[in-house]
Amino acid sequence: MAFEIGLYSLGDHFADPITGYHPSATQRLNQLVDMAVLAEELGFDCFGVGESHQAFFTTQAHSVVLAAMAAKTKNITLFSSSSVLSTVDPVRLFEEFATLDHLSQGRIEVVLGRASRLGGFELFGVDPADYDRIYDEKLELFLKLNKSSIVTWEGEFRPPLDHVEILPRPYRSKLVVHRAVGGPPASAIEAGRLGMNMMLATLGGPLSGFKLSVDMYREHARLANHDPQHMKVTIASLCHVAASSYEAIDRMHPYLDQGFRILRHSPYPKQWLKDALDPKQALLVGDPKLIIEKLKMQIDTYRHHRTILQIDFGGMPTETIYEVMMMLANEVIPEVKAYAAIQGL
CA dist 298 and 163 (Å) reads: 45
Say what the pLDDT of residue 131 is: 81
Q: Is the pLDDT of residue 117 over 70?
A: no
Residue 3 to residues 68, 233, 291, Cα–Cα distance (Å): 26, 10, 16
Q: Is the pLDDT of residue 194 over 90?
A: yes
Mean pLDDT of the chain: 96
Per residue in 165-189, pLDDT (tens digit) is 999 999 999 999 999 999 789 999 9
Exposed / middle / buried, residue 329 (Cβ in 10 Å: 0-12, 13-18, 19+): middle
pTM, entire model: 0.96
| CATH number of the domain within which 333 lies | 3.20.20.30
Percent of the chain with pLDDT strictly greater than 90: 92
Give the mean pLDDT of 283-304.
98
In this structure, which long-range contacts are made by residues 228-232, counting pairs with CB atoms below 8 Å and at least 24 apart in sequence? 228/192, 231/192, 231/195, 231/196, 231/197, 231/198, 232/1, 232/178, 232/197, 232/198, 232/305, 232/306
Domain hosting 194: range is 4-342
pLDDT band at 116 (very low <50, low <70, confident <90, very high): low
Query: Is residue 122 pLDDT above 90, yes or no?
Result: no
What's the number of domains the chain is made of? 1
Q: Is the pLDDT reported for residue 150 higher than 70?
A: yes
